[in-house]
């Protein structure tokens, strides 16, 4: 054999050898697979019975889809942007979690086929739904994820309100149908609708029936007294309303009756003395980080609050306000303060709660620094530590 022939043989073994091995061996990361035959599908299903992730596939034959429809575990096919109706029909027979989050459109027939699917169904790539597709998907009976849908027609909303499983519509920018809102409220975990900026009182009342641990409405910019009364009845642990810049005293008093463990009002820029008294009555985590000013009376009221209180928006504090807040018994965040007078520092040094954070201070007299640092639960910047 000539030298050239030997070199060609060696090169062939180096380059073709791994490919031959790969043909027999399955990759550890199945997401690297970019094409799939029926035989390969069957081998993968046997090797990965609980979860088969094939997110590297950008196309799928009808025959391979038919094979995958018999998989006994979760199936991820998020790289597919389109599927034939025949392939969808086969996958619709799959009886475990099915993720098709790359699909951007569904035909009416495909939607009807997927509605027969018996497990969680992820369709987060869809940005619009026709009334016919919505009506078909409404017959699905498990978790249905449509997290890129922003709006529905009235007809679609009415159809999806009858969905028998759990709907996940986290990207909604409009919600006007109280029945659909009530259906969303059935989620027994977290309900996140942070894109909604306005809601009718009727829709808020429906959402307030949510019994999961966390209700997030961080997009709302206004809240009526009636809506506040409804949300006060929310039975979950956490309530987030982080875009409200203002609340009437009546709405604040109503909302303060919420019995959960966490109330997030981080964008409120004003707080009346009466509202402060109302919010202080309930023991909970209370976030009011948007406040940049606080009256002495409001500070005195909040000083009676029990739980964690966040007031990082305050940059200054009067001596009387410091005295009032110094009586707080939980954890108090005043990290926005940049300076304190000696008298105010002395008042805060009497703090007997869990922790007091004043770690944003930039100016402090030696006497004030010594007074504050003597209290072990007060967190100061390193420069003012002894």
DSSP 188-237: SSEEE-TT-----HHHHHHHTT--SSEEE-TT-----HHHHHHHTT--SS
Report if residue 300 sits inside a domain.
no
Report if residue 109 sits inside a domain.
yes
Judged against a pLDDT cut of 50, whether residue 1 lies above it is answered with no
**Would you state the structure tokens that stand for residue 289, as one six-digit string?**
């980080």
Phi, psi angles (nearest 5°) of residue 260: -75, 180
C-alpha–C-alpha distance, residues 202 and 222, integer Å: 14
Report if residue 345 sits inside a domain.
no
Report if residue 185 sits inside a domain.
no
Interacting residues of 198 by C-beta distance below 8 A, sequence separation 6+: 220, 221, 222
* 132-191 per-position pLDDT tens digit: 999 999 999 999 999 999 999 999 999 999 999 999 999 999 999 999 999 999 988 899
- Element spanning 3, H or E: helix 3-24
Domain count, the chain: 1
Report if residue 125 sits inside a domain.
yes
**Would you state the structure tokens that stand for residue 357, as one six-digit string?**
């954070």
Residue keyed to tokens 């969905």: 163
Report if residue 265 sits inside a domain.
no
**Which range of residues forms the domain containing residue 54?**
22-171
Average pLDDT over residues 76-101: 97
Report if residue 206 sits inside a domain.
no
pLDDT band at 7 (very low <50, low <70, confident <90, very high): very low
CA 300, chain centre distance (Å): 34
From the list 207, 215, 195, 107, the residue with the least C-alpha distance to 151 is: 195
* CATH number of domain containing 160: 3.80.10.10
- Report the chain's mean pLDDT, rounded to a whole number: 93
From the list 122, 116, 173, 113, the residue with the least C-alpha distance to 143 is: 122
* 274-304 per-position pLDDT tens digit: 999 999 999 999 999 999 999 999 999 999 9
Report if residue 148 sits inside a domain.
yes
pTM value is 0.87
Judged against a pLDDT cut of 90, whether residue 16 lies above it is answered with no
């Amino acid at each position: 054999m000539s030298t050239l022939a030997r070199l060609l043989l060696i090169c062939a073994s180096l380059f073709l050898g791994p490919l031959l091995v790969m043909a027999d061996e399955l990759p550890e990361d199945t997401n690297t697979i970019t094409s799939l035959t029926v035989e390969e599908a069957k081998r993968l299903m046997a090797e990965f019975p609980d979860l088969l992730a094939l997110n590297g596939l950008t196309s799928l034959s009808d025959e391979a889809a038919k094979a995958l429809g018999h998989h006994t575990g979760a199936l991820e096919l998020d790289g597919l942007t389109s599927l034939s109706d025949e392939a969808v029909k086969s996958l619709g027979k799959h009886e475990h979690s099915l993720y098709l989050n790359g699909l951007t459109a569904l035909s009416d027939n495909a939607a009807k086929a997927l509605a027969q699917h018996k497990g969680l169904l992820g369709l987060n790539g869809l940005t619009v739904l026709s009334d016919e597709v919505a009506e078909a998907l409404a017959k699905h009976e498990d978790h249905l994820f449509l997290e890129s849908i922003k709006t529905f027609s009235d007809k679609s909303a009415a159809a999806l309100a009858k969905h028998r499983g759990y709907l996940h519509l986290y990207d909604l920018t409009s919600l006007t149908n109280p029945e659909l809102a009530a259906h969303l409220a059935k989620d027994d975990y977290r309900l996140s609708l942070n894109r909604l900026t306005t809601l009718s009182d009727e829709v808020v009342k429906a959402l307030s029936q949510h019994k999961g641990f966390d209700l997030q409405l961080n997009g709302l910019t206004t809240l009526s007294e009636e809506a506040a009364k409804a949300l006060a009845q929310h039975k979950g642990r956490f309530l987030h309303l982080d875009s409200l810049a203002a609340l009437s005293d009546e709405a604040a008093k109503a909302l303060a009756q919420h019995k959960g463990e966490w109330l997030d009002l981080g964008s409120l820029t004003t707080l009346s003395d009466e509202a402060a008294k109302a919010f202080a009555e309930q023991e909970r985590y209370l976030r009011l980080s948007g406040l940049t000013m606080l009256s002495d009376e409001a500070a005195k009221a909040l000083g009676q609050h029990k739980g964690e209180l966040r007031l990082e928006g305050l940059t200054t504090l009067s001596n009387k306000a410091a005295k009032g807040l110094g009586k707080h018994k939980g954890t108090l965040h005043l990290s926005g303060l940049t300076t304190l007078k000696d008298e105010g520092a002395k008042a805060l040094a009497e703090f007997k709660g869990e922790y007091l954070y004043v770690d944003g201070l930039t100016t402090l007299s030696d006497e004030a620094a010594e007074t504050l640092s003597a209290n072990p639960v007060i967190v100061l910047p390193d420069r003012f530590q002894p």
